[in-house]
Structure 1
Amino acid sequence: MTLTRTAATFPPPVMEARRWLDGVTFPAERPLINVSQAAPVDPPPTALRQAIAEAALTRDAAHVYGPVLGMPDLREALADTTCKIYGGDVRANDVAITSGCNQAFAAAIAALCGEGDEVILPTPWYFNHKMWLDMAGVESVPLTTGADLLPTPDAAAALITDRTRAIALVTPNNPAGVEYPADMVMAFAALAAEHDIALIVDETYRDFHSRSGPPHDLFQNPDWRDTLVHLYSFSKAYRLTGHRVGAMIASPALLAEVEKFLDTVAICPGQLGQHAALWGLQNLGQWLAGERDEILARRAAIAANMPKLEAQGWSLLGLGGYFAYLEHPFSTSSADLAPDLVRTAGILCLPGTMFHPEGAESGARQMRIAFANLDAAGISLLFDRLAALPAT
């Protein structure tokens, strides 16, 4: 029997983890702490919701098909914002709006890769990237990272073959949280250019970067269009996860190929979500800065609570964006430990095995904590519960 595209990959990890909740009750004195999914649960700010309602009521065009590559005003606004953040030259015709950042990645792979081609993914990898490559018939080539969870261009260079079409980086990283140094990202761009392959840089969590200034100088290279495919998400910035608004910045030539994919899959991104993203870019700069400050405060709370776990043998491997990536001290694999935590500690998190090739030993010792929806008190409670786990 022929293996279908969807059968070629694993079940969605977040959905699989939610099934661990079936039949489990959580007493009032120990409610569930859900740190499994990296998405804001609060709705957008009231002013943005009012802008969405206004668009729904007064803009007839918001209810019909729009341009495949997105609203011209939004493409222009994102190009301008990108230039302000990174410097360099980015124009509206370098921008495509997509139905979420996952679709941007899928579209990029469709435009770059053929059957049996290869894409290099640092491990631990973002599972949806791996899933799409599986379903596209593209080989995921794992790039092992060091103790600091940073990939190196030298290690990537050793993996490049005549079938390699791209290297895909996520920074701040999902799942590891680490922020890739600017000089390292630039070195990857130079490597990709040398081998005439694409460098895909997914910056879904860019707005919560801890460093001041631009995260990298990729757009300041006048030849960036020859190599770079940049991905972004409005979902995390403006709490628009349900509206599915992402973006790709790449050469107009590549976007012409991307347009074929997008037209076939969704015809156009949702209009109301695009109006929301545009309004956010134009009006919510100060609000977003406050959101960043809050995420950085929660990041600091993770660091402040780590001594509770370090005393029990845990280690903090990575911290940033929405994530803390931990190494646990138990003999049990994280694949078994994570579902057991639901029952024994009222914690839902994802095991490292979901972010590594099947059978990788490192994943068995790792856990991802998505902390963006926990305040400082919630983070302290989470760490108290983890520290109270009996040794095994």
Structure 2
Amino acid sequence: MTTSTPARRVSARLAAIQESATLAVDAKAKALKAAGRPIIGFGAGEPNFPTPDFVVEAAVEAARDPKNHKYSPAKGLPELRKAIAEKTLADSGVVVDPNNIVVTNGGKQAVYQAFAALLDEGDEVILPAPYWTTYPEAIRLSGGVPVEVFAGPDQNYRVTVDQLEAARTPATKILLLCSPSNPTGAVYTEEELTAVGTWALEHGIWVISDEIYEHLTYGIKNTYILAAVPELADQTIVLNGVAKTYAMTGWRVGWMYGPADVIKAATNMQSHTTSNVANVSQRAALAALTGPQEVVGQMREAFDRRRKLIVSMLREIEGVEVPEPQGAFYVYPNVEALLGRDINGRVATNTSELATIILEDAEVAVVPGEAFGASGYLRLSYALSDEDLVEGITRLQKLFA
């Protein structure tokens, strides 16, 4: 009697994907809060502000218009792509053809489609670490191989050209850039981006530039890779969206732009997966980009205030090293000195264990550094109310006293 090997129930490709650590922490915190625990969450990268009223009103009006009840072009509404091109020119000085823009279901779809459009099996992607949790999963799902290049607090979490060159092999096809950075809040200078872009240009390496936090810098000017090295345009894909700038995380509107052939491939893929982004969300995004921008500055001022507050409070905890973030809304302290210490009769050997102790004993949710490529760090988002921020960090101060 012959026996056959049981068929695999879940494909190897999808079985290898790890759950989003940041969303998992946020979900656990919300579940505990729903159960009556006074959890304060520093996990999710989500502004606590409501979406601006004028954006919501535009969506309500759009929902009543029958033209938005039907399919629309897979790559996005023409008027939204035009507004994205105009906004890109105004912000960065980079000229983009609206035909070379694809509106995506959030920034994550843009991330995946960018890798899917470029990668063949075994192609390598240089991935500066600490990195956002989705990047390596999207790379692997597209058949690529992430090659991590770590930059610690001594480098302000910014990789150097020498590090990139040391990681380059004949299989290197892409460099991923995220500035301002999730999870560290690091922002590359114009000189650094010029050097990195020139290196990529010289070696024929594609750049995928995630610019979702472009408007969240504090006391410094944001630099755009294509403004620094315009010659790189034929081998660069830029990712962006309305989620962070306009407090629109739940609306799911992102975009990508780049060379026509790559954008055509991504559009074809999107036409067979999700088709168009919900028209009401696209109309809301159009209103956000073309409406009054004062709200952007107001939110940035609030984030800046919270940034200074969380850094100063965390620095009061012995053993916590806190580089000052210059962008986004995250702080990324080095907490290696807390590992191995007795904390209420418990000892953490890594930051995953430390985050569990913090959640259970202090009722504060943070994301461990393992989610971003290295143990020894914690990511805390300061996109929450001032009151919750103070209460949450006060709890940490008491826990580690």
Shift of 1:182: 1.9
* Equivalent residue for 2:141, pick from 135, 151, 172: 135
- 1:40 and 2:71 correspond: no
* Map of 2:380 onto structure 1: 369
What is the match of residue 336 of structure 1? 353
The CA distance in 2 between the partners of 1:247 and 1:314, in whole Å, is 37
Identical-pair percentage: 27
The equivalent position to 1:210 in structure 2, one of 182, 197, 218, is: 218
Match of 1:169 in 2: 177
**TM alignment of 1:303-322, pairs within 5 A:** 303-309=311-317, 312-319=318-325, 320-322=327-329
Do the aligned residues in 2 keep the contact of 1:39 with 1:372 (CA within 8 Å)? yes
Residue number among 364, 367, 383 corresponding to 2:393 in the alignment: 383
Take 1:87 and 1:197, find their aligned partners in 2: how far apart are those partners?
Answer: 23
Cα distance change of structure 1 residues 93 and 116 upon mapping to structure 2, 3 Å threshold:
same
Q: Aligned match of 1:31 in 31, 38, 50? A: 38
State the Cα deviation string for residues 197-255 of structure 1 (Å, max 9, x = none): 21111011111112454423623644332122111121112222122100112112221
| Conserved 8 A contact 2:201-2:232 | no
Aligned runs of 1:40-79 on 2, under 5 Å?
40-58=47-65, 60-79=66-85
Match of 2:267 among 254, 259, 268: 259
Q: Is the 8 A contact 2:123 2:144 kept in 1?
A: yes
CA contact (8 A) 2:106 2:253 kept: yes
TM-aligned CA deviation for residue 17 of structure 1: 2.4
Where structure 2 has 5 or more consecutive residues not aligned to the other structure, the ranges are 1-6, 341-347
**Alpha-carbon shift at residue 20 of structure 1 (Å):** 4.7
**Cα distance in 1 between the residues matched to 2:73 and 2:119:** 25
In 1, Cα distance between equivalents of 2:199 and 2:187: 19
Q: In the alignment, which of 238, 249, 255 is matched to residue 241 of structure 1?
A: 249
Provide, for residues 76-132 of structure 1, a one-character-per-residue CA deviation record: whole Å limited to 9, x for no partner: 111111111111422312322111111111111111101111111111111111111
Are the equivalent residues in 1 in contact too, given 2:179–2:213 (CA < 8 A)?
yes
For 1:11 and 1:203, how far apart are their aligned partners in 2?
23
- Report the 3-state secondary structure (helix = DSSP H, G, I; strand = E; otherwise coil) of the residue aligned with 2:167: coil
Hey, what's the Cα distance between the residues in 2 that align with 1:203 and 1:211? 18
Checking the alignment, whether the CA contact within 8 Å between 2:74 and 2:275 is kept in structure 1 is: yes
Closer, same or farther in 2 for the Cα pair 1:114/1:373, shift >3 Å? same
Mapped to 2, the partners of 1:211 and 1:82 lie a distance apart of: 21
- Give the paired residue count: 380
For the structure 1 residues 27 and 232, does the alpha-carbon distance in structure 2 shift closer, same or farther, using more than 3 Å as the test? Answer: closer
Runs of 4+ deviating beyond 3 Å: 18-28, 211-214, 219-222
Looking at structure 2, the residues matched to 25 and 213 of structure 1 have their Cα atoms a distance apart, in angstroms, of 38
Deviation at 1:19, TM superposition (A): 6.2
Per the TM alignment, residue 283 of structure 1 is displaced from its structure 2 partner at its CA by 0.8
Normalized against structure 2, the TM-score is what? 0.89
- The residue that corresponds to 1:272 in the other structure is 280
Give the residue type in structure 2 aligned to 1:342: L
- Within a 5 Å distance, the mapping from 1:288-327 to structure 2 comes to 288-309=296-317, 312-319=318-325, 320-327=327-334
Structure 2 CA distance for aligned equivalents of residues 364 and 220 of structure 1:
33
Query: Measured at CA, do residues 57 and 370 of structure 1 come closer, stay the same or move farther in structure 2, by a change above 3 Å?
Result: same
The equivalent residue for 1:180 is 188
Taking structure 1 as the reference length, what is the TM-score of the superposition?
0.91
Aligned-partner residue type, residue 83 of structure 2: A
* Higher mean C-alpha deviation, range 41-50 or range 169-178: 41-50
* Mapped partners of 2:164, 2:319: distance in 1: 32
Could you tell me which residue of structure 1 aligns to residue 345 of structure 2?
none
Structure 2: distance between partners of 1:388 and 1:176? 24
Q: Is the 8 A contact 1:80 1:91 kept in 2?
A: no
Q: Does 1:122 align with 2:119?
A: no
**Residue 355 of structure 1, aligned match among 368, 372, 390:** 372
Q: What is residue 225 of structure 1 aligned with on the other side?
A: 233
Q: Is the contact between residue 126 and residue 172 of structure 2 (CA under 8 Å) also seen in structure 1?
A: yes
Letter in 1 for 2:192: M
Matching residue of 2:3:
none
